[in-house]
Amino acid sequence: MSAPLIASLRDNSAIRDTSRVMTICNACRYCEGFCPVFPAMTQFRTFDAPAADYLANLCHNCMACYHACQYKPPHEFDVNLPGTLADTRADSYQAYAWPGSLAGLFHKNGLVVSLSVALALAAVISLTVLLVDAEVLWQTQTGAGAFYRIIPHALMVLVAGSITIAAGAALLISLMRFSRAVGLRAAELFSPRVICRALSDVFTLRHLGGGHGDGCNTGDASFSNQRRYFHHFTMWGFLLCFAATCVATLYEYGLGRMSPFPWTSLPVLLGSSGGLGLLIGTSGLFVLKLKTDPDATAPHRLGMDYALLILLFSISLTGFALLFWRDTPAMGILLAVHLGFVLAFFLTLPYSKFVHGFYRLLALAKYAAAKE
């Protein structure tokens, strides 16, 4: 089924409520300067599924419009724009997910990710204990190639490579379906001005400034940039870890140097800076999420958010444990635990909250293209 057809056939409570609330907002327009959602909204007279998906992914959940709104509950109009758009946003990930047979993984996503972590950990740890000679597993392994005496290099490359390619392809196809549905053409996306504008919005997290630069509302009507800062720690932390993996691959294949690398080497410096960023960012976002006013959210979607934060935190924590205790007999089991978390992350990547950054980038690109 094509993406536009999927979108046109979708008619659920999230889409209907987005259409209802956006129609009220389009008449009211009090929040016009808060974020791109309101200027973008004015391009529509009616709000079908693609329009709702586009606007929902343009929203950064800053809550400013909830606290400013004179029509929020208990007013009979019952306007809760951040909550309504959060529900539609999560629904859009499911609608465009590929293959469609796995789209249901977005339903009860917190549980799905937790089960995936448990299964991946159980599989990697038990296979390591069963298949690796106890003499090797429980003895100190040091020097170049120490990790590969526990888990063979070829096996790591085969598993990591095939899962990364499959996850990347699934995510790419999902994003192409979303782009087609919301009417973002390739020529627009790859226009230098459009992509630069969209990337600049993403990398500066401009719209987490709440439109005035003072930040988001979390638990109450006061403003704070904490959410923006913790998002920066998380996003740049992840990118630094990704850079560390790329540099380590280059070292191994280009320079013939095998991991584990020295503490002062570039892959370790990049990875530990990124890991620290992830620890700070994800724990900060977790605490802020606990403080979020439940009336201004879609509470049944929060499991997805918590699951990704805990997974990224766990990957960083076990990465540091491996770094600190790699020259001890605990290295083998720490490596298995760390790789179990990493495996769960890549297995669930196209079906977890991780996709939100890419959907938001495309929505921002469409917004930038409309302004050209």
Site residues for ligand SF4 per CB under 6 A: 24-25, 28-31, 34-35, 37, 59-65, 68-71, 79, 81-82, 85, 207
| Number of Cβ within a 10 Å radius of residue 55 | 28
Q: How many Å apart are CA 86 and CA 83, to the nearest integer?
A: 5
Burial class (CB in 10 A: 0-12, 13-18, 19+), 54: buried
Helix, strand or coil, per DSSP, at residue 223: strand
DSSP 329: T
Alpha helices in 97-152 (DSSP H): 109-131, 134-137
Closest alpha carbon to 345 in 238, 246, 256: 238
Calculated CA dihedral for residues 306, 202, 161, 166, nearest 10 degrees: 80
Helix, strand or coil, per DSSP, at residue 258: coil
Q: How many Å apart are CA 76 and CA 163, to the nearest integer?
A: 49
The β-bridge partners of 224 are 216
Residue pair 319/275 in contact by the 8 Å Cβ criterion = yes
Quick one: 33 or 168, whose CB is closer to ligand SF4?
Answer: 33
Cα dist from 354 to 48, 155, 172, whole Å: 25, 26, 13
Helix, strand or coil, per DSSP, at residue 224: strand
CA 142 to chain centre: 35
Q: Least distance in Å: CB of 55 to ligand SF4?
A: 8
H-run or E-run covering 217:
strand 216-217
